[in-house]
Amino acid sequence: MGTLYGVSVGAGDPGLMTLRAVRIMESCGVIAVPRTHGENSLALSIAEQAADLSRKRKVYLDLPMCRDREALDRNYDETAEMLCGLLESDDVAVPTLGDISVYSTFSRIAQRVEKRGFKAEICAGVTSFSAAADALGKPLCLGSEPLHILPYGCGDFEKLLDLSGTKVVMKTGSKSSELIALLRKKGLALRTSVIENCGLENERIFGSLDEVTDDLGYFTVFIIGECSDET
Amino acid sequence: MGTLYGVSVGAGDPGLMTLRAVRIMESCGVIAVPRTHGENSLALSIAEQAADLSRKRKVYLDLPMCRDREALDRNYDETAEMLCGLLESDDVAVPTLGDISVYSTFSRIAQRVEKRGFKAEICAGVTSFSAAADALGKPLCLGSEPLHILPYGCGDFEKLLDLSGTKVVMKTGSKSSELIALLRKKGLALRTSVIENCGLENERIFGSLDEVTDDLGYFTVFIIGECSDET
Q: Hey, are the CB atoms on A127 and B131 less than 8 Å from each other?
A: no
* Contacts with A106 from chain B: Cβ below 8 Å: 139
Identify the pLDDT of residue A68. 86
Of B99, B123, B147, the residue at which a domain comes to its end is B123
- Count of C-beta atoms within a 10 Å radius of residue B197: 19
Q: Is the pLDDT of residue B63 over 90?
A: no
Residues B115 and B147 reside in one and the same domain: no
A123, A144, A165 - which closes a domain: A123
Q: In A, which residues are within 8 Å of B99 by CB distance?
A: 126-127, 130
* Residue B231 forms part of a structural domain: no
Last residue of a domain, one of A69, A96, A123: A123
CA distance A150 to chain B (A): 5
Residue A41 lies in a domain: yes
**Contact residues, chain A, for B143 at CB < 8 Å:** 103, 151
Q: State mean pLDDT over B96-109.
A: 94
For residue B227, the model assigns a pLDDT of: 53
Same structural domain, A201 and A118: no
Q: Which of A18, A114, A175 is the best mutation test for B, with the most CBs of B within 10 A?
A: A18
Same domain, A142 and A89: no
Predicted confidence band at B18 (pLDDT cuts at 50, 70, 90)?
very high
* A45 shares its domain with A137: no
Question: Is residue A230 in some structural domain?
Answer: no
Q: Are residues A203 and A99 in the same domain?
A: no
* Distance, first Cα to last Cα, chain A: 52
Bridge pairing between strands A92-96 and A30-35: parallel
What pLDDT, on a 0 to 100 scale, did the predictor assign at position A39? 60
| A144-164: average pLDDT | 96
Residue A228 clears pLDDT 60, i.e. is over it: no
Q: In what order do the strands lie in the sheet with B147-151?
A: A204-206, A192-196, A220-224, A166-170, A147-151, B147-151, B166-170, B220-224, B192-196, B204-206
Q: What is the pLDDT of residues B103-156, one digit of tens each?
A: 998 999 999 999 999 999 999 999 999 999 999 998 999 989 999 999 998 999
In this structure, is residue B229 part of a structural domain? no
In a domain? residue B139: yes
Rounded Cα distance, A166 and A146, in Å: 6
pLDDT at A38: 60
Same domain, B136 and B87: no
Domain identity same for B11 and B111? yes
The predicted pLDDT at position A147 comes to 98
B-chain residues near A22 (CB < 8 A): 19
| Residue B85 neighbours by CB under 8 Å, 6+ apart | none
- Which of B23, B126, B155 lies closest to A15 in CB terms? B23
* Whole-number Å distance between alpha carbons of B42 and B201: 12
Find the helix or strand (DSSP H, E) in which B99 lies. none
Residue of chain A nearest B50, judged by CA positions: A19
In a domain, B214, yes or no: yes
Same domain for A183 and A76?
no
Q: Does B187 touch chain A (CB under 8 A)?
A: no
Domain enclosing residue A73, as ranges: 3-123
Q: Does A125 touch chain B (CB under 8 A)?
A: yes
Residue A62 CA to residue A75 CA, distance in Å, equals: 8
- What's the CATH number where B93 sits? 3.40.1010.10
CB contact under 8 A, A16 and B14: no
Query: What ipTM, to 2 d.p.?
Result: 0.94
CB within 8 Å: B123 and A134: yes
List of residues 6+ apart from B218 with CB closer than 8 A: B37, B39, B173, B174
Q: Which of B174, B157, B168 shows the shortest CA–CA distance to B194?
A: B168
Specify the CATH number for the domain of residue A213: 3.30.950.10
| pLDDT of amino acid A64 | 79
Residue contact A138–B107, C-beta within 8 A: yes
Nearest CA in chain A to B108: A229
Same domain assignment for residues A173 and A215: yes
Residue B112 and residue B32 in one domain: yes
Domain count within chain A: 2
Residue A229 lies in a domain: no
Sign, CA dihedral B86-B88-B93-B99, equals: positive
Per-residue b/e over B101-113, b at no fewer than 16 CB within 10 Å? bbbbbbbbbbebb
CA atoms within 13 Å, Cβ hemisphere of B61? 31
Residue B117 and residue B16 in one domain: yes
User: pLDDT band for position B38 (50/70/90)?
Assistant: low
Interface test with A, best of B17, B73, B126 (most A CBs within 10 A): B126
Q: Is the same domain home to B11 and B101?
A: yes
Residue A79 is assigned to a structural domain of this protein: yes
Order of strands across the sheet that contains B92-96: B57-62, B30-35, B92-96, B3-8, B119-123
Quick check: A119 contacting B, CB < 8 Å? no
